[in-house]
Amino acid sequence: MRKKSVWWIALTGVVVLAGALWGSIVSNVEQPEYKVVESDRSIEIRDYSATIVAEVDVAGERDKAIGGGFRILADYIFGNNQSSRKMAMTAPVSQQASEKIAMTAPVTQMREGNSWKVRFVMPTGYTMATLPKPNDPAVKLREIAAKRFAVISFSGLAGEESLKRHTDQLTEFVRAKRLQAASAPIFAFYNPPWTLPFLRRNEIMIEVAR
């Protein structure tokens, strides 16, 4: 019986380690470029380069909205789009293939009225002209100009209490530095849901005037 218990403990350890490593590996994807202007422990002021995003508006509670938005955007980048690359003619009509787009991080979420804007940053190398058009009209492609953000980073599960606590901390930092806030808080999540809490990277961003 004792040997069986030891075996199960060892197996559990392997599963936990595998989950940790897998979460780290799949999170190692392209991320938006930025330059750190100022750093104060877990808070940074960053200048971000211009980006292109795919976004969708989802109504409802925050956690359900990001889940629904993620599924719609993932559907787009994994092939539910009209590729600009023409395929060989296989019948009297020509066809266009669906194109897969590389996953990037983070997934961002921002409240706007009674809904949430959920966004994926598109990989560098694409332009508005070369990105495949979404088949789903709910998915919008937008160019985002270069911006400055105050950003707080934290690990763990990003529940409502944690998000509020870190938002309050970031808001106080912006106030103390006499920065001019130019956006509502934006929640940014870098890891897949199976990543162990202590390995997760979460951020809250507030755009500030330069």
pLDDT in tens, 132-172: 999 999 999 999 999 999 999 999 999 999 999 999 999 99
DSSP 153-198: EE-S---HHHHHHHHHHHHHHHHHTT--B-S--EEEE-S-TTS-GG
pLDDT in tens, 35-58: 999 999 999 999 999 999 999 999
Q: Above pLDDT 70, what percent of the chain?
A: 80
Residue 10, token pair as written in the block: 């060892």
Query: For residue 88, is pLDDT > 80?
Result: no
User: Between the CA atoms of 37, 48, 103 and 113, what dihedral angle is there, to the nearest 10 degrees?
Assistant: 110
pLDDT in tens, 67-80: 999 999 999 998 88
End-to-end CA distance of the chain: 66
**Rounded distance, CA 67 to CA 26, Å?**
18
Signed CA dihedral, 177, 178, 179, 184: sign only: positive
pLDDT in tens, 99-115: 888 888 899 999 988 89
Q: Beta partners for 144?
A: 51
Instruction: Give me the helices (H) in the chain, please.
Output: 2-26, 62-77, 160-176
Q: Looking at residue 119, what is its pLDDT?
A: 94
**Rounded distance, CA 60 to CA 57, Å?**
10
